[in-house]
Amino acid sequence: MAQGKRKTKPIEDPIQTELDSIKRLLILLLLKAGTPQAEIAKALHDVDPSVVSRMFSGVKIKKFGK
C-alpha cells in the first residue's frame, strides 16, 4: 500500500500577514470614501476590478455620510 503525501500548510510570514491586513483596511477605506473599484484596481498595478470586488464579497459597505 502506497503512502499518500500529506499536504502541509505553508508557513505564513507574520509580517506579510500584517501587510495584507493593512492593505485590506486601506482598500476598505477607499471604498467607503466612494472610490470606484476600477480606480483602486489600477492603483494596485492594473489588477482586475473583480479582484477588488472579491476581496469584500458578501459584505455590504456603506459609504461615509450615509
The model's pLDDT over 4-63, given as tens digits with 9 standing for 90+, comes to 677 777 788 999 999 999 999 999 999 999 999 999 999 998 789 899 889 888 788 889
On the question of pLDDT at 1 being above 80, the answer is no
Residue 9 placed within a domain:
no
Give the cell for residue 58: 458578501
Separation of first and last alpha carbons in the chain: 63
pTM above 0.95, yes or no: no
Cβ atoms < 10 Å from Cβ of 22? 10
What's the confidence (pLDDT) of residue 22? 96
Residue 44 placed within a domain:
yes
Residue 43 placed within a domain:
yes
Residue 10 placed within a domain:
no
Is there a contact between 28 and 56 (Cβ–Cβ < 8 Å)? yes
| Total structural domains within the chain | 1
Cβ atoms < 10 Å from Cβ of 40? 19
Residue 15 placed within a domain:
no
**Domain limits at 31?**
26-58
Dump strand ranges (E) for the chain: none
